Structure 1
Amino acid sequence: MVQLDVNALFRRAETEFQSGRFEAARTDLVTVLRIMGDHPQVLHLLALCETNLGRANAAADAFRRALKLAANDPQINNNYANLLNQQGDVAGAFRHFDRALVGNPKAVDPRYNRALLRQRQGDWAGARADLDQLIAAVPGDPRLWEARGTVNRDGGDLAAAAADYDRALALAPDRPIALHGAARVALERGDDAAVPAYRRALDHSAQDPALVLGLAEALEAAGQGGGIALLADQVARNPGWIDGQNSLARMRAESGTDGDFAEGFAKAVALTPADRGLQFAYWRSLALGGRQADALRALDQARPYLGDDAELAMLEAVFASESGDLDRADAAFARAGAGQDVDFARGRHALRRRDPGLAARLIEPLVRADIGMVSAWAHLSLAWRLADDPRHRWLCDQPGLYGTSDIGFSHTELDRLAATLRDLHRTRAHPIGQSLRGGTQTRGRLLTRPDPILVQLRERLAAAVGAHLEALPPADPTHPLLRFRGQPFGFAGSWSVRLSGGGFHVHHVHPEGVLSSACYVALPKLDKGDRPGWLEIGAPPAELGLDLAPLATIEPMPGRLALFPSYMFHGTRPFDEGERLTVAFDVVM
């Protein structure tokens, strides 16, 4: 009987694994284990083979057997954590990354991978701490600097992100992730260097559609021509590219030129009418542009190719309700099944049907399940108000939930700020899907720009927000705003709006915020008689057809900051002529 050399067999399995022959490697490893019994390194390699063969359960079993013999082995724990993360077991992944570092605190891979997982979970501080420890040990690794840049960008510190990407590129000038990251940060900071940064990135990754999209947006933001043509060409060559189609529709709408902003979508669905994702994106683009009836017609035209199911019925119901065909919406909702999105849409439809009781019954479970669901709170506030439910006062009318303050800018500082903002308004029409009508809105994150007057503005706004939070009613863990009392805050989106004569904001909410705002920079002469240009808080959107007056109106004044809960509907009254220039932002916790 031939006696097998298990060491030679294991070495052969290692070679097979490195060559991508995972099934052959697995066969040899099973033989080794049958001869010698469980061994951590053999089981580890077997787990990696099973992972590459797509056999997650078998891989997990091999990892667990290996860890029974080497509980703190950093590489086994690291690779098992990666598998658990792929399977959606985030807690298990963290547990094994931690165990890997207990066994070897200096291990690079588990700390790096834990940093990436922390980033994906929104734990920017934890991710930075892991990366800083690695950078202290290996400062010349560009991978670590670009990862830190991405963490800082996602966490809102664009200045630090820019410095991190620059450091990565100084170490390795051709790294695609760092090149793209540096260009994206420049775009979000409003830096005109974004255009050459995107061109440089495209020199190294010419076929990357995300870079083409970024360059088109950078050209638009810089007020240079060619962005729409560049993106239209890319979309024509890849009509099923949904991100590109969405951005092209937005850019065409904001350009203020004649024509159908969604024509790229229309041409694409004509070529591939059975492409479900593309069709849905087309309809949603039309709806965002206020063309719900057109979205409904496009849905009807696609039905022979897509059939009918609950998801399609849900969109049909929403478009029908928003376009005023309430009976058709009722019939479609009956086919739309159940779920969070359906219940919220039915609740909004119930308000349009003047049935606040049904609206409340549909929406109350949603906010109990997710207290941060801003849009649900906004519509529930209307249902409670219509029903004269005392909870409406608790939600929207406690003293101190909304109010105004002065940011302390002099007339000269306001003039400087106004001049800076006017230079940033480079589009011709309002963006689709946004609240303004008769004006323009800046792109990117306004309050991250390095311009000194904007830095000064951010400091004043932060002080005003801090004072507002300190003056809130007592903390209440069941209240969507007061649950955050006493917690640190940050700025999320920030932008400027420039309205001209006849311009206004439709009533809306900010789904990603906790507090929202309007800071007035420049105003026309306004006749106070019927309060033109004033901010209204608490009035419902006009399309719901509800006869409810605003809970408060706020007079715009240069240097005045209005703050209010993001879940409260707010809009502005139109004014006759002149310029109304504001800065707005969302506060997050």
Structure 2
Amino acid sequence: MADVNALFSRAEAQFRAGAHAAARADLLQLLPMVGEHVAVLHLLALSEARLGQRQAAEAAFRRALNAAPRDAQINNNFANLLKNVGDSEGALAHYTAALAANPALHAARLNRAGLLVQQGRAAEALPDIDALRRVSPDDPGLRLTGGAAMLALGQLDAAAADFDAVLAQRPEDAKALQGRARVSAQAGDDALALRLYRKAFSVSPTDPEVMLGLAEALEAMGEDSGLPLLAAAVEAHPGWLAGQDALARMRSEAGELADFDAGYRRARTKMPDDAPLASGHVACLMRAERYADAIITLDQWVARAGRSPEADRFEAMLASEVGDLQRADAAFGRVGDDPALAPAHARHLLRKRDPMAAAALLEPLALADLGAVNHWAYLAIAWRMLDGPRHEWLALQPGLVGTQAIEIDLAALAEVLRGLHRSRAHPVGQSLRGGTQTRTRLFGRDIPILKEVEKGIRRGIEGHQRGMPGVDARHPLLRFRDAPLEFSGSWSVRLADGGFHVAHVHPEGVLSSAFYVVVPEARGTEGWLEVGAPPPELGLGLPPLHLIEPRPGQLALFPSTMFHGTRPFASGERMTIAFDARA
């Protein structure tokens, strides 16, 4: 009979040497001798994970945790596996279990913080990051995670300090270079961002995220080499969805509207049975409002792979958008009660002129989440069609919509903004037509005229708040009547002859805006801002609740829950600054 201790020691040595298959063989031989031994099961789980055997690894981890449910290291390693296979909530639960068992296990705390940042929950990661800073303030892994969190929260100086600290220790760290480049891009220093991305690329030339950052940095500097660089990377990695989406956006903004999704189409000829790729292609076409093309692509996917809940959700939305209301009804019926699809379902019900059903669907969801902008936007339409006092309370109270005058050197501001508009066409998925939109945030850049206009706009927001009705804790905007508001996004739009905005809302804000820098010559109501009109494609025929004439130096403000768009203008230039504000 083999010596148990010797066999386990050999398995450990093989694992450390990277001979994971040999380690697994020894551990499988060992298990019948020792039973559900925690250390053996744990090492077996790690070996299976290194070999890419996800199901076997998960089974071994669960057996190990069944024997030792409070083992901090096993919980942490199992969480790592779950994170890598996309089970974020499961991973968070096991990181938390690891910390409950051993609060001093810094790896679990750092891993949990990093996952929260990846999920877009940076504020929730701050307690873990702060706790780790007190213990290991100079740890490079902590500074990378802290920098990513600060960047996500818009604290650019703090993010730069974290990434710079890593680079002081490890000048060739690709993640730190990439993070610092993103800070520079957000701050408007496109030249520095490009230099940093080039250095990151020299260190890690096969990292897709670095290639994407470099391509976008080249684009931001007005260089044409970014698009072919990204196209080559996507060609080499056809299943890379983030790259495919970025390539589609870049092609769209370069004016290649007919072929903006060419990367997806080529990839799907190579990988016709890849469900995530097909799903990504359909979603990309939907963002571009190419609904007829999207439903053809969806039907091709379903013909190969059969129905699925995801395909049913796409079918419900797309069938409604192309006017096949019976098909949409059937698909929504198959989907059932899906809160995430509620705004799309309500949109469909409104298109069918059934506001009562739309209101019944949305009311409990909107009242439970005052920040659910899309829910409130469609609920406002339903309440308006039902002609009740609830719509007056939500959208018609005096002071919700208004204008403020901002004193600024408009000519100097216009010159700076024109220099930031470097694309040639509107981006996929945005509301403008016949113009361009700046990409990274406008406010926070180290440009004096932008700092000045930001201060003026902040004063304008405060003036608007003072003119609003009193605080109402039940209202999606008035609950913040007396609260300080911060920018959740800021950008500039430049429209040319025939340009306009389609009706849309801003899900990231509570108060939305348009600050007019340049306006075309007035011809009736051409170019005017419409607030409160439902999207015309719903066919409801309801007029706007407010019409605002664009005037240079004027700031228009309105609840983010109100649909808004602009009327086309025949010729000239219309340039604005827009932002969302939230508490």
Over 3 Å counting, the alpha-carbon distance change for 1:314 and 1:526 in structure 2 is same
User: 549-558 vs 133-142, which deviates more?
Assistant: 133-142
What's the offset of the Cα at 1:569?
Answer: 0.1
Query: Counterpart of 2:90 in 1: which secondary structure?
Result: coil
User: 228-237 vs 48-57, which deviates more?
Assistant: 48-57
Query: Counterpart of 1:438 in 2: which secondary structure?
Result: strand
Q: Please say if 1:283 is aligned against 2:282.
A: yes
Query: Counterpart of 1:468 in 2: which secondary structure?
Result: helix
Of 96, 99, 106, 1:97 maps to 99
Of 168, 183, 186, 1:185 maps to 183
Over 3 Å counting, the alpha-carbon distance change for 1:80 and 1:280 in structure 2 is closer
- Structure-2 residue corresponding to 1:58: 63
Q: Aligned letter for 2:296?
A: R
* 1: CA distance, partners of 2:69 / 2:307: 45
Question: For the Cα contact (< 8 Å) 2:78–2:94, is it kept in 1?
Answer: no
Over 3 Å counting, the alpha-carbon distance change for 1:352 and 1:25 in structure 2 is same
* 1: CA distance, partners of 2:292 / 2:272: 19
What's the offset of the Cα at 1:415?
Answer: 1.8
What's the offset of the Cα at 1:568?
Answer: 0.7
Query: Counterpart of 2:570 in 1: which secondary structure?
Result: coil
RMSD, aligned CA: 3.4
- Structure-2 residue corresponding to 1:533: 527
- Structure-1 residue corresponding to 2:431: 435
- Structure-1 residue corresponding to 2:502: 506
Over 3 Å counting, the alpha-carbon distance change for 1:431 and 1:95 in structure 2 is same
- Structure-1 residue corresponding to 2:266: 267
User: 299-308 vs 395-404, which deviates more?
Assistant: 299-308
* 1: CA distance, partners of 2:423 / 2:125: 37
Query: Counterpart of 2:443 in 1: which secondary structure?
Result: helix
- Structure-2 residue corresponding to 1:314: 313
Question: For the Cα contact (< 8 Å) 1:81–1:96, is it kept in 2?
Answer: no
Question: For the Cα contact (< 8 Å) 1:23–1:49, is it kept in 2?
Answer: no
* 2: CA distance, partners of 1:313 / 1:76: 38
* 1: CA distance, partners of 2:313 / 2:70: 47
Over 3 Å counting, the alpha-carbon distance change for 1:393 and 1:59 in structure 2 is farther
Structure 2 stretches of 5 or more lacking a match?
A: 47-56
Deviation per residue, 1:337-384 (Å, 9 max, x gap): 442244432321121122212222222243245443211211111111
Deviation per residue, 1:498-539 (Å, 9 max, x gap): 011221111101122222111111222314xx3222211100
Question: For the Cα contact (< 8 Å) 1:77–1:100, is it kept in 2?
Answer: no
- Structure-2 residue corresponding to 1:39: none
What's the offset of the Cα at 1:571?
Answer: 0.7
Query: Counterpart of 1:575 in 2: which secondary structure?
Result: coil
* 1: CA distance, partners of 2:128 / 2:333: 51
- Structure-2 residue corresponding to 1:212: 211
Q: Please say if 1:571 is aligned against 2:565.
A: yes
Q: Please say if 1:173 is aligned against 2:171.
A: yes
Query: Counterpart of 1:447 in 2: which secondary structure?
Result: coil
Of 523, 535, 538, 1:544 maps to 538
User: 340-349 vs 560-569, which deviates more?
Assistant: 340-349
Query: Counterpart of 1:557 in 2: which secondary structure?
Result: coil
Q: Aligned letter for 2:63?
A: A
Question: For the Cα contact (< 8 Å) 1:50–1:59, is it kept in 2?
Answer: no
Q: Aligned letter for 1:460?
A: G
Over 3 Å counting, the alpha-carbon distance change for 1:76 and 1:437 in structure 2 is closer
Query: Counterpart of 1:582 in 2: which secondary structure?
Result: strand
* 2: CA distance, partners of 1:265 / 1:309: 21
Over 3 Å counting, the alpha-carbon distance change for 1:272 and 1:123 in structure 2 is closer
Q: Aligned letter for 1:418?
A: A
Of 556, 561, 565, 2:550 maps to 556
Question: For the Cα contact (< 8 Å) 2:73–2:98, is it kept in 1?
Answer: no
User: 74-83 vs 245-254, which deviates more?
Assistant: 74-83
What's the offset of the Cα at 1:331?
Answer: 4.2
* 1: CA distance, partners of 2:440 / 2:563: 24
What's the offset of the Cα at 1:290?
Answer: 2.7
* 2: CA distance, partners of 1:26 / 1:121: 36
Of 430, 442, 449, 2:445 maps to 449
User: 464-473 vs 85-94, which deviates more?
Assistant: 85-94
Question: For the Cα contact (< 8 Å) 1:182–1:197, is it kept in 2?
Answer: yes
Over 3 Å counting, the alpha-carbon distance change for 1:491 and 1:285 in structure 2 is same
What's the offset of the Cα at 1:460?
Answer: 2.7
* 2: CA distance, partners of 1:25 / 1:119: 36
Q: Aligned letter for 2:224?
A: G
What's the offset of the Cα at 1:465?
Answer: 2.7
What's the offset of the Cα at 1:291?
Answer: 1.9
* 2: CA distance, partners of 1:291 / 1:5: 64
> For 1:211-360, what aligned pairs fall within 5 Å after superposition?
211-257=210-256, 259-360=258-359
Query: Counterpart of 1:539 in 2: which secondary structure?
Result: coil
Q: Aligned letter for 2:349?
A: A
* 1: CA distance, partners of 2:483 / 2:25: 54
Over 3 Å counting, the alpha-carbon distance change for 1:90 and 1:265 in structure 2 is closer
Q: Structure 2 length as normaliser, TM-score? A: 0.85
Over 3 Å counting, the alpha-carbon distance change for 1:174 and 1:382 in structure 2 is same
* 2: CA distance, partners of 1:236 / 1:122: 28
* 1: CA distance, partners of 2:99 / 2:482: 33
User: 231-240 vs 324-333, which deviates more?
Assistant: 324-333
* 2: CA distance, partners of 1:115 / 1:430: 36
* 1: CA distance, partners of 2:229 / 2:200: 16
Q: Aligned letter for 1:170?
A: A
Over 3 Å counting, the alpha-carbon distance change for 1:130 and 1:312 in structure 2 is closer
Query: Counterpart of 1:491 in 2: which secondary structure?
Result: strand
* 1: CA distance, partners of 2:386 / 2:270: 50
Over 3 Å counting, the alpha-carbon distance change for 1:325 and 1:32 in structure 2 is closer
* 2: CA distance, partners of 1:389 / 1:325: 30
- Structure-2 residue corresponding to 1:465: 461
- Structure-2 residue corresponding to 1:418: 414
Q: Aligned letter for 1:146?
A: L
Over 3 Å counting, the alpha-carbon distance change for 1:22 and 1:65 in structure 2 is farther
* 2: CA distance, partners of 1:252 / 1:26: 52
Over 3 Å counting, the alpha-carbon distance change for 1:349 and 1:258 in structure 2 is closer
Number of positions where the alignment pairs a residue of Structure 1 with one of Structure 2: 562
What's the offset of the Cα at 1:133?
Answer: 5.8
Q: Aligned letter for 1:256?
A: G
What's the offset of the Cα at 1:403?
Answer: 2.0
Q: Structure 1 length as normaliser, TM-score? A: 0.84
Q: Please say if 1:524 is aligned against 2:520.
A: yes
Query: Counterpart of 1:463 in 2: which secondary structure?
Result: helix
User: 469-478 vs 424-433, which deviates more?
Assistant: 469-478
- Structure-2 residue corresponding to 1:38: none
Q: Aligned letter for 1:57?
A: R
* 2: CA distance, partners of 1:534 / 1:234: 43
Q: Please say if 1:149 is aligned against 2:154.
A: no
Structure 1 stretches of 5 or more lacking a match?
A: 35-41, 67-73
What's the offset of the Cα at 1:467?
Answer: 4.1
Identity of aligned residues (%): 48
Question: For the Cα contact (< 8 Å) 1:78–1:100, is it kept in 2?
Answer: no
User: 380-389 vs 315-324, which deviates more?
Assistant: 315-324
Query: Counterpart of 1:503 in 2: which secondary structure?
Result: strand
Over 3 Å counting, the alpha-carbon distance change for 1:214 and 1:113 in structure 2 is closer
Deviation per residue, 1:418-464 (Å, 9 max, x gap): 11110010111111211111111011111132212222222332333
Q: Aligned letter for 1:522?
A: V
What's the offset of the Cα at 1:299?
Answer: 2.7
Question: For the Cα contact (< 8 Å) 2:528–2:566, is it kept in 1?
Answer: yes
Question: For the Cα contact (< 8 Å) 2:95–2:111, is it kept in 1?
Answer: no
Deviation per residue, 1:251-275 (Å, 9 max, x gap): 1111124642222222222333222
Q: Aligned letter for 2:176?
A: A
* 2: CA distance, partners of 1:121 / 1:231: 25
User: 111-120 vs 213-222, which deviates more?
Assistant: 111-120
Q: Aligned letter for 1:517?
A: S
Query: Counterpart of 1:202 in 2: which secondary structure?
Result: helix
